[in-house]
Structure 1
Amino acid sequence: MVEDYRAAARRFSRRSLFATTGLIGLAAAGAAVSAGVNAAVDADDAKGALRTENIGQTAAGLSPVIRTERVYSKARGREVDLVTILPPGVPTENLPVSLLLHGLHGTARTAAVGNIATLLAAGVAARLSPAFGFVALDGGDNYWHDHGTGDDPMSMLLNEVPGWLAQRRLGGPDGLPSAVTGTSMGGFGAFVYARRRFEQGRPVNAVATMSPGLLTSWTEMAKRNAFINADQWAALDPLRNLDKLGPAPIGLWCGDRDRFIEGCRRFIATAHPEVGLITPGGHTDEYWSTVTPDVVRFLSRHIA
């Protein structure tokens, strides 16, 4: 079976799976890319986001190994979905993983935007990326922090996920994720998670964010009902806490017609991330499909 995957991977190699900027060909499998066509979306989750049953679609015979389980989160006070997305045909014991944080009104099942799951499978099978996986969880709509209601998804990520991963023999020796990846609200959460890991003395290896929810106005953020008040938002806002994010390399990708473009431009200008790209597109899965090849390539450089 492993040889079958490698044969398929060689076919991808001959079709230039990687270009100078990262993975390419597979991105087209998830979306029709057009600089001038990106539909607007009403909420921070793109309505075109790939569902779990779709992200397992094969690409030239390569398919990610996706498993969805229910676990009880004491930090959130409820059962949540835990979705693991792993490359096929590789040993998984102690496999490095990146958290994959969903956007507003999303779930663990919708976190793998832009065909990123299939891109990961193909890249690893082609030996163009080190083997790693993603783990996604239901985080609610409170920007991945405790809103004061006892629902604390950040505590779940920090204190419960390592144990769940260790039980599944994933992650580092103690189940720690090596990196964090997030889209929209999940991008905001990815920055907060990196900050908390740095404060614990256990920094992540990389932070990858697509269209992170970096608003510059409390009036706009207040509409999301995710923070008790402006002070709580200011205390967590990555734009106002750049010095607390830690040493991890950061990648940020955003479309030039995205609702979060102002905050993303400001972050790139002040934080000087390793990758900070503004390219044509909006807050849609079609746009994310154009950047996930570069996201996988970025993670590949740092996750191990």
Structure 2
Amino acid sequence: MVEDYRAAARRFSRRSLFATTGLLGLAAAGAAVSAGVNAAVGADEVHDTAHDTRQTVLGINPVIRTERVYSAARRRDVDLVTILPPGVPTENLPVSLLLHGLHGTARTAAVGNIADILAAGVANRLFPSFGFVALDGGDNYWHDHGTGDDPMSMLLNEVPGWLAQRRLGGPDGMPFACTGTSMGGFGALVYSRLRFEQGRPLNAVATMSPGLLTSWTEMAKRNAFIDADQWAALDPLRNLGKAGPAPVGLWCGDRDRFIDGCRRYIATAHPEIGLVTPGAHTEEYWSTVTPDVVRFLSRHVG
């Protein structure tokens, strides 16, 4: 068994569960082998020596369901994607929002194999049970650009009802956390602030490569804000005092396009986790940090 574990572990790239600081200490457990195989990014990274181990995790794939719902806040039908660990009671299951990046959709929000990591980690009792819900948010940094398309209002005012109808997130359907990548990371920080202003603060906010820019010249290129004043009113870097108490985790690659803003956020906001590691604004990089992201969220399930 030990030799099988070592052989399998050697074949996992740095993108597997074992290459992350958050789960490295758990790698000696036999269950962690299954989680690592299931979380491998590329099919060519799972070789024959791990085949038998992979067979034991085929039954713990995430339960993913995509539905169409009408959002009055967005004035259109949107995809609602739930990502749940299998084999656990789902009634009142805690749920984190999962916000996609620019030009993304609900169907592409689960970057870095985060869904597989959640499923394998819960099945192997590395994490408490929780799920994700992703929605189509458009390209305007999760806010109303002045057109009446308001994805932030959808998150705040419509999602709780949709989750409650599906008996997720507790009786009131409120997400316990928000997770976002790139533009979605910007949106997650804004959502957390607004939840605090509503008197219902989140338990945690997890951001991967959040779209934090330090100049209006750069942000204006994205055509996501009416003007510099609207951006300044929402920009997490310019509103640190309004953020509220929710613990924040921020992960960013050292070659990421948003690294300057992320470094500034880490230096001034002092998040619970502020980690810069080698990588760029890519799926490959996100696969190196999603195990830590899930572990961070799991510590704040409640």
TM-score by length of 1: 0.84
CA separation in 1, counterparts of 2:64 and 2:100?
16
- Give the C-alpha shift of residue 243 in structure 1: 1.1
Q: Secondary structure at the match of 2:246?
A: coil
Task: Give the structure 2 partner of residue 234 of structure 1.
Answer: 232
Alignment of 1:29 onto 2:27: no
Task: Give the structure 2 partner of residue 165 of structure 1.
Answer: 163
Task: Give the structure 2 partner of residue 246 of structure 1.
Answer: 244
- For the 8 Å contact 2:17–2:39, the answer to whether it is kept is no
- Give the C-alpha shift of residue 23 in structure 1: 3.6
Task: Give the structure 2 partner of residue 109 of structure 1.
Answer: 107
- Give the C-alpha shift of residue 62 in structure 1: 1.9
- State percent identity of aligned pairs: 85
Task: Give the structure 1 partner of residue 49 of structure 2.
Answer: none
CA separation in 1, counterparts of 2:71 and 2:39?
37
**Count of equivalent residues:** 267
- For the 8 Å contact 2:38–2:116, the answer to whether it is kept is no
- Which runs of no fewer than 5 residues in structure 1 stay unpaired? 1-10, 33-57
CA separation in 1, counterparts of 2:124 and 2:145?
43
* Structure 1 segment 183-222 matched on structure 2, within 5 A: 183-222=181-220
The 3 A distance-change label for structure 1 pair 27 and 237 is farther
CA separation in 1, counterparts of 2:23 and 2:167?
28
Compute the RMSD of aligned alpha carbons: 2.0
- Give the C-alpha shift of residue 61 in structure 1: 3.4
The 3 A distance-change label for structure 1 pair 85 and 96 is same
Q: Secondary structure at the match of 1:262?
A: helix
2:127 aligns with one of 108, 126, 129: 129
For residues 247-286 of structure 1, the C-alpha deviation after alignment (integer angstroms, 9 at most, x for no partner) is: 0110000000000000000000000000000000000000
| Larger-gyration structure (1/2) | 2
Task: Give the structure 1 partner of residue 32 of structure 2.
Answer: none
- For the 8 Å contact 1:31–1:289, the answer to whether it is kept is no
- Give the C-alpha shift of residue 28 in structure 1: 5.7
The 3 A distance-change label for structure 1 pair 59 and 183 is farther
Task: Give the structure 2 partner of residue 88 of structure 1.
Answer: 86
Q: Could you list the runs of 4 or more consecutive aligned residues of structure 1 that deviate by over 6 angstroms after TM superposition? A: 14-20
TM-score by length of 2: 0.85
Q: Secondary structure at the match of 2:271?
A: coil
Task: Give the structure 2 partner of residue 293 of structure 1.
Answer: 291
- Give the C-alpha shift of residue 136 in structure 1: 0.1
Task: Give the structure 1 partner of residue 173 of structure 2.
Answer: 175
CA separation in 2, counterparts of 1:28 and 1:102?
20
- Give the C-alpha shift of residue 21 in structure 1: 2.8
